[in-house]
Amino acid sequence: DFLAKLCKIRQFRTNYWQALTGLNEVNLICVATEAFFTQPQRMSETLPTVFQFLSEMLNQDPRKDTYPLLHPVTNW
């Protein structure tokens, strides 16, 4: 269920990582962290507990333009 929700957030088909990595398994924390930064609004709505955990762990809230500790590359 968790992985299905992550795929929905990223709008990827299930097992999308197999074509990219050649691996049968996926590291869920890597996929969750990637979704956290690339689709923060969707993730906070779909997996609020996971979003809150990552937000506190990373000291980040990528939903807010005024609070990123990591700035987009386009700003460099």
pLDDT the model gives residue 56:
92
Handedness of CA 33, 39, 44, 47 (dihedral sign): negative
4-44 pLDDT, tens digit each: 787 788 777 666 666 666 667 777 888 889 889 889 999 99
pLDDT the model gives residue 12:
73
Looking at the predicted structure, is the pLDDT value of residue 62 above 60? yes
**Higher per-residue confidence, 66 vs 62:** 62
* Helices (runs of H) and strands (runs of E) counted in the chain: 5, 0
pTM listed for this prediction = 0.70
CB atoms within 10 A of CB 10: 16
